Structure 1
């Protein structure tokens, strides 16, 4: 049976697992965003479903913090349920390549109808302000209805359907700004319509199973449809309906879908809005505008929000897990042995601070690992720091990592630099080190015990693993060890 990507099935599962909290009365104007931002920084935090939002009918809801814990993310990915990110990274290794290879076997299946058609609003009555789009942060240029969204487009000269996550700002009752940055698949498709002088058809899925926006926000190969990729993860095809104006496919169980066109030359000022690293990198700029000409939505619709902010933010955990698995596989593919763990830290937006732990086997092993990790395809874009630690250090534990840096490295001998590496205008440091060709530098920190002194390096002063387990079994119920 095809899967309609119904968000409410997932919400029911999270309620049962006590991984969802309903909050009533939070204001769309900054309060909802601040609560979500503060929530995601707490250990063991739940997903948040906001209801009774002032100024809107009860049942017009906003959902946040969906992918920000190992339990919820493993549920979304249909993985073995776990509360441990290391287990999730290990499960995920090799999966993207497998899903890509199987995607062609799962084309979406068209169905006649679905819950998304419970309400259909035609052009004359469209009013996007009927939905409680949040103003997430004080510095934002406007209200953003699309953060945890999926934007459906079609190639001009082929049948390739792309589904990407691009931010969507509300301009007025019938127009939204769509920020598709250069090089992204949606922007490539859009430019073909611009060159042909024709309107660009768009459908924006504002709410669905979180797997929808999770996958539309990663690097799926050019020419591959994300509905196929999602089908491979689910092991069953996605059930889609087609927009009545554009013919574009979207999930039959979607919460809200905006359908319309970007007309040639139609732009307005959009932003500013935060980036994944936690800064307002750019101010307001001209961005393409979509004229919303039809809206489909379910009764008591839910906006899925996933706004960027200073990490950890709403979606930084999911990026960290998925990129860590890809980096682990990249190290092994490059022939680096003895890799015990990899973690792309949320504090660096899962790009700018990466740690690998290894079991050292030979002189130069740590340096080899660090340089490969810094420059492999998955990590090359907008990297900054790479740290390599011994296998007794948890690469995801910043206290342990920085302890190793402080006690097992020497600044003169153990830090290598790479200049003129791949940079980006989205790097907040680009304002200080401007270059025409957006270069940046890298630091590789070898925080492993010196290989030629492994045997005589001072031993660690701590309880053995065996003793810790014995103590936890006897005293853990009293001290929450």
Structure 2
């Protein structure tokens, strides 16, 4: 049996507390301290999720939660996966799952309920004051306080019943307005444009806190026309329970923490940003973005903001992106007919896009180049790719030291680096400042860091204890060498 209100953050928090996966931090200021502590925390080995309480200027119990998806165990728990030993095991479990969840989504429409924990407190019209919640100023150069980072924005298609749930950044503008930055081409932006073309206000509900599965799924590429609520239901194997906003009629999780409900009126815009991007740069300065007039706020007692801001990797959510894109890349290689794939990793340092590595067991001449070109240009990887590396099966693709050792010792730069020119570029690429064409073209490098296929027999052996010997020694000397 599933849990009631399966997207209730507090159910998940209770599970994490049982596993000692959450650390409570008291007294950190919303002004830069919460952001800096979270940023430094995610770089620690074995770090925990952070729950900030007793935030200066706010009542005790008004909290901010960060680092929810940044470890194998926490990410596995969100995806309802079995307990895993590490990310390679999680990638293997995840292979094929997105396609299966999309196929099963139709069988899990959300279930409407009359009320839920999120309806405990309601501020309407003149009572709305967004500054009553401890929205952080995450970084020094940010354009304002961002209440929505680990959030989920609920919108609806004007011409159908399709409800979309997307993760878009939400900047507090004043007591009753937030900026909503939706990237061109994203499903929410497509729906928004239909309302603007018709001269009608665009209804919006912004979920500021819920089980992190909510923002995790609303931030990935769910196929057009499928509601993320259905997709989440397929993962949970039970429908999401939703209530409907009294102003817009839009659904949102009954177990949510805070929901902002309102409208974007035609022509309403305001400067928004700057804010960091997933690759770790401020790609653009302040620019105009649609302005949401918040008419109603629903929230629980002692509400929790889920924060997940972008920053220089590794950041709050880069690990989850790396795992999920690695599984998709693995499936893409296999689907393209590349044999002998052992492991794939989309590195956090490249925002899970710009530096990808696959290990293979070589079977024929040209095998490594075939793998590298598919890894670079398959649909999952084409957007904002940069470097694609192929290594032998003895190299762990997720271990940068091993990968760079293979590049340093198993390549001849003249022979083993291929270039693709006029590939898909993006204005979100920090290197776009160097683009010389009006079109968004960029280049790719494919590095064959495998031992030369025609010298597999006489290539120098590696001076290292065999995996079998390492395992035996670690078992015997576990007091010196922890497993």
TM over 0.5: yes
- How many residue pairs are counted as aligned between the two chains? 481
The secondary structure found in structure 1 opposite 2:135 is coil
2:270, 2:288 within 8 Å by CA — same for their partners in 1?
yes
Give the whole-Å Cα distance in 1 for the aligned partners of 2:159 and 2:239: 25
Equivalences for residues 271-290 of structure 1 within 5 A:
271-290=273-292
* Partner residue, 2:102: 100
Q: Report Cα offsets for 1:91-131 as digits up to 9, x if no partner.
A: 00000000000000000000011000000111111000000
Preserved CA contact (<8 Å) 2:6 2:236: no
> TM-score, normalised on structure 2?
0.99
Matched residue, 2:65: 63
Post-superposition offset of 1:433: 2.1
Gaps of 5+ in 2: none
**2:244 maps to which residue?**
242
Deviations 1:259-295 (A, max 9, x none): 0000010000000000000000000000000000000
Give me the whole-angstrom Cα distance separating, in 2, the residues matched to 1:3 and 1:407.
Answer: 54
CA RMSD of aligned residues (A): 0.8
Alignment counterpart, residue 419 of structure 1, candidates 406, 418, 421: 421
Query: Which residue number in structure 2 is paired with residue 343 of structure 1?
Result: 345
Q: 1:316-465 maps to which residues of 2 (within 5 A)?
A: 316-465=318-467
Could you tell me whether the CA contact under 8 Å between 1:243 and 1:250 is conserved in 2? yes
Q: Where does the alignment leave 5 or more consecutive residues of structure 1 unmatched? A: none
Name the structure 1 match of 2:297: 295
1:46 maps to what in 2?
Answer: 48
Contact 1:3–1:237 (CA under 8 A) maintained in structure 2: no
Aligned residues of 1:64 and 1:306 also touching (Cα < 8 A) = yes
Give distance in 2, aligned partners of 1:108 and 1:205.
Answer: 16
The answer (yes or no) to whether the contact 2:136–2:147 under 8 Å persists in 1 is yes
Instruction: Kindly state the Cα deviation for residue 474 of structure 1 after the two structures are TM-superposed.
Output: 1.5
**3-state SS in 1 of match to 2:413:** coil
The 5 A counterparts of 1:1-12 are 3-12=5-14
SS, match of residue 403 in structure 2:
helix
Q: Deviations 1:302-358 (Å, cap 9, x if unpaired)?
A: 000000000000000000000000000000000000000000000000000000000
Residue 159 (structure 2) pairs with residue 153 (structure 1): no
TM-score, normalised on structure 1? 0.99
The offset of 1:298, in angstroms, is: 0.1
Contact 2:145 2:171 in 1 (8 A): yes
Which deviations, in whole Å up to 9, do the C-alpha atoms of 1:390-416 show, x marking residues without a partner?
A: 000000000000000000001000000
Matched, 1:233 2:232: no
Find 1:252's aligned residue among 251, 254, 258. Answer: 254
Q: Residues of 2 paired with 1:434 and 1:283: CA distance?
A: 21
